[in-house]
């Protein structure tokens, strides 16, 4: 039974002055719980077994502490006591996913959707698990199912569109990816991750100007650098876009920003070296290629470019 159908029943109880309605005024949560129990409605979000609820709450507490092993044990105990405790399955799935056990996570999310076909969170989380497994077709199906379930978009819905956009991108469907990123940013214009990913999509189309705009927005959206790894990527990707446009100076500046945040970022050193070499500054190119080799001795291209830069430097002195 859907929440809208339940609301209709509740409204009827109000109309007929159900004596239990006074419970609603005093304690709405208790009223909903008791009403659903009387009507025999299975609700994934509640359990009538107090001990199951106690174990579930322990699981939530352990999850808050990132203690996934004990969280799984607690959710499992809750499920043993109430086989229809859908949210316990869903939360246990999250814990399994955090431990890298994606197959078990998907199994739990699937059980949650069977107990409640309107479980939006379970579809979203299962989509994320499929995406992490690079099963993008099933990820897209789950994200799409989640989107169709709720047309009254809220701020939080941007994440579903962003995640589906990533799945489309990984499948090579760039146009659909950009469309989803656009919708995500319409719902929440301050999400730096969506700007980063849309920038990558524009870069895949070699639309370097739009890519640069989005990478810049990604950087601006996180001024406190709470997600430093994202900022490093944004600076590096923007450096590559400038490089493709032949703007060596701006490319160098962006790569330098990335290196300032992560001094041992070998790819940023490598591509900054390429930019220095392109503008004829072979001394600095040699420094960056040498640093790349130091950080990543297996980078054959860095070894090759280092020797080329040395050769070009010798030529310039003749």
Q: Is the pLDDT of residue 47 over 80?
A: no
pLDDT confidence band for 6 (50 / 70 / 90): very low
The pLDDT value recorded for residue 223 is 61
CA angle 37, 24, 81 (to 5 degrees): 30
Q: Is the pLDDT of residue 35 over 50?
A: no
Per-domain residue ranges of the chain: 1-41, 272-318
pLDDT in tens, 55-114: 999 999 999 899 999 999 999 999 999 999 998 999 999 999 999 999 999 999 999 999
pLDDT in tens, 117-138: 888 889 999 999 999 999 999 9
Lowest mean pLDDT among 71-85, 135-149, 209-223, 243-257: 209-223
3-state class (DSSP) for residue 67: coil
Show the tokens assigned to 151.
């047309």
Stretch 44-48: mean pLDDT, rounded? 63
The pLDDT value recorded for residue 317 is 74
Highest-scoring range by mean pLDDT, 34-38, 117-121, 180-184: 180-184
The pLDDT value recorded for residue 226 is 63
Q: Could you tell me where the beta strands, DSSP code E, fall in 106-207?
A: none
Average pLDDT of the chain? Answer: 86
Task: Find the length of the chain.
Answer: 318
120 Cβ neighbours under 8 A, 6+ residues apart = 146, 149, 150
The pLDDT value recorded for residue 45 is 54
pLDDT confidence band for 225 (50 / 70 / 90): low
Show the tokens assigned to 119.
């479980």
What pTM did the predictor assign?
A: 0.80
Stretch 305-317: mean pLDDT, rounded? 91
Query: Cβ of 38: how many Cβ atoms within 10 Å?
Result: 10
Helices 300-316, 282-295: inter-axial angle, 10-degree rounding = 160
Residue 100 backbone class (left: φ over 0; alpha: ψ -120 to 50; beta: rest): left
């Amino acid at each position: 039974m859907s929440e809208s159908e339940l609301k209709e029943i509740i409204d009827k109880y109000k109309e007929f002055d159900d004596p239990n309605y006074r419970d609603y005024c005093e304690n709405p949560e208790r009223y909903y719980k008791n009403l659903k129990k009387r009507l025999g409605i299975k609700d994934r979000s509640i359990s009538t077994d107090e001990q199951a609820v106690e174990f579930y709450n322990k699981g939530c507490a352990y999850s808050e502490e990132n203690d996934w092993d004990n969280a799984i044990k607690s959710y499992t105990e809750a499920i043993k006591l109430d086989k229809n405790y859908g949210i316990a399955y869903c939360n246990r799935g999250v814990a399994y996913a955090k431990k890298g056990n994606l197959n078990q996570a998907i199994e739990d999310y699937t059980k949650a959707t069977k107990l409640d076909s309107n479980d939006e969170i379970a579809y979203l989380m299962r989509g994320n698990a499929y995406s992490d497994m690079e099963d993008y077709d099933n990820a897209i199906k789950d994200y799409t199912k989640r989107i169709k379930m709720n047309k009254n978009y809220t701020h939080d819905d941007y994440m579903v569109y962003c995640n589906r956009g990533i799945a489309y991108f990984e499948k090579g469907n760039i146009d659909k990816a950009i469309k989803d990123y656009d919708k995500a940013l319409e719902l929440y214009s301050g999400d730096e991750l969506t700007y980063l990913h849309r920038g990558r999509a524009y870069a895949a189309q070699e639309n370097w100007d739009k890519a640069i705009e989005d990478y810049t927005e990604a950087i601006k959206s996180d001024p406190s650098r709470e997600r430093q790894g994202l900022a490093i990527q944004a600076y590096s990707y923007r450096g590559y876009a400038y490089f493709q446009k032949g703007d060596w100076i701006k490319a160098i500046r962006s790569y330098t920003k990335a290196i300032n945040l992560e001094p041992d970022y070998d790819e940023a050193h490598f591509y900054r070296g390429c930019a220095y070499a392109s503008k004829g500054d072979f001394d600095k190119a040699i420094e960056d290629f040498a640093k790349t080799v130091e950080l990543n001795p297996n980078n054959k291209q860095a070894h090759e470019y280092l020797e080329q830069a040395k050769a070009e430097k010798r030529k310039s002195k003749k």
